Amino acid sequence: MRFFRWIFLFLICVAIVLLGLSFLAPVQQQVVRSVVINAPAKKVYEQMLLLQNFNNWSIWGKADSSIQYTSNRIPDGQVGTTITWNGNALLSGKGKIQLTGLLENRQITHHITLLEPQHLEADSKFDLTEQNNATSVTWTFTVPSERPWNVYNLFYSLDKEKGAEFEKGLQALKMMIEKAPIVPPNTPRIVNTNFSLTNYVSIRQQVRRADLPAFFTTHFHHLEHYTLKDSAATDVRTGLFYKKDEKALQDDVAAAIQIPAGFNPALRSPEELISIPASKAIEVRITGNNPATKDLAYKTLNDYIADRQLKTQAPVIEEYTAKDSTTRIIYLVE
């Protein structure tokens, strides 16, 4: 009995000591590193605000060749953009990063949530200061620690253990920006994403380029009101381009509407079901109906494909949203 009493008293003493130490230990771990990039702040900012670029230069993404990224529906470069990742548990693990704040040409903030192999919340801030056409980038990475677990901070330094990785990341950022060509401001931004398995009801035909607007208008109306009986779940309409004949200015194309969950349409010729399997993808979003803007979007996508020697799969997907007059152009890649 006396033995258990001593054990009990010992545990109480340990708890008191830990509680006391928790008020002496820092309540956060922080890494601060800087680099000077030979480029104006505007160019640095435009590169850094894209989360897909963060994945390209951060040391954690570069170290894991198996890592896969998925983005939400918010266009990259806007507050709220979120990218989730899933990779090797020993290298990158599983988590998500969200763009939480922007001060144009001055500051970018992220919130990072690590889900595996352990749970961790962190805030990442980049401060940009321009002087003599060069930009100093200061990266502040902060991990809060709740009491009493912050006692661990007395024995472990994130700065000493991981500081070198932040330095390597900033050097990769510097190299990427200093070697990057100047991109026209109206160039669409490419986002790496994952396309989910999607089932469509559609009408597919060979259509002359000049007749595409009439083809889509007629068949979208037919599919929505007669085939799906006004049960379409969204206002997104889809064009599926299987082959484009630039000489004849004619396309093998389908007007398609996503089939709502649980709906089984009764098809009549020339209607057909099209199922596009899940795939890695790249995409751009454009606003309005300017043909020059769409041509530039396709050129940007094609240049990206050629530079990285990617293989694409048919069809090319165009999603049209009337509410905000946006077009989402999606290339499925292997």
Sheet holding 250-258, edge to edge: 191-195, 279-287, 326-333, 312-321, 236-245, 250-258, 198-208, 271-276
Give the mean pLDDT of 243-260. 89
Global model pTM greater than 0.75: no
Confidence band for 22, pLDDT divided at 50, 70 and 90: very low
CB 124 within 8 Å of CB 165: no
- With a pLDDT cut of 70, the percent of the chain lying above it is 81
Contact 163, 50 (CB under 8 A): no
Lowest mean pLDDT among 59-73, 92-106, 256-270: 59-73
Taking only the tens place, the pLDDT of each residue in 230-250 is: 776 568 899 999 998 888 889
Report the alpha-carbon distance of residue 209 to residue 245 in Å, rounded: 9
Cα torsion 204, 205, 211, 212: sign: positive
- Cα separation, 105 vs 54, in Å, equals 16
Q: pLDDT tens digits, residue range 138-148?
A: 999 888 776 66
What per-residue confidence (pLDDT) applies to 182? 58
Is residue 175's pLDDT more than 60?
yes
Give residue for tokens 């009408």: 203
Token duo for residue 202: 């559609």
All structural domains of the chain, each given as residue ranges with its CATH number in brackets, are 23-182 (3.30.530.20), 192-333 (3.20.80.10)
pLDDT in tens, 276-324: 999 989 999 988 888 888 888 998 899 888 878 889 999 999 999 888 8
Contact 199, 61 (CB under 8 A): no
**Band of residue 260 on the pLDDT scale cut at 50, 70, 90:** confident
- The tokens for 131 are 């002087």
Task: Give the residue among 106, 120, 127, 102 at the shortest CA–CA distance from 162.
Answer: 120
pLDDT tens digits, one per residue of 61-88 = 666 667 777 777 777 788 888 888 887 7
Residues 114-120, mean pLDDT to the nearest whole number = 79
**Letter for the amino acid at 242?**
Y
pLDDT at 163: 73
Report the alpha-carbon distance of residue 315 to residue 242 in Å, rounded.
4
The two structure tokens encoding residue 92? 């990158």
- The pLDDT, as a whole number, for residue 77 is 81
Positive/negative CA dihedral, 87, 93, 96, 101: negative
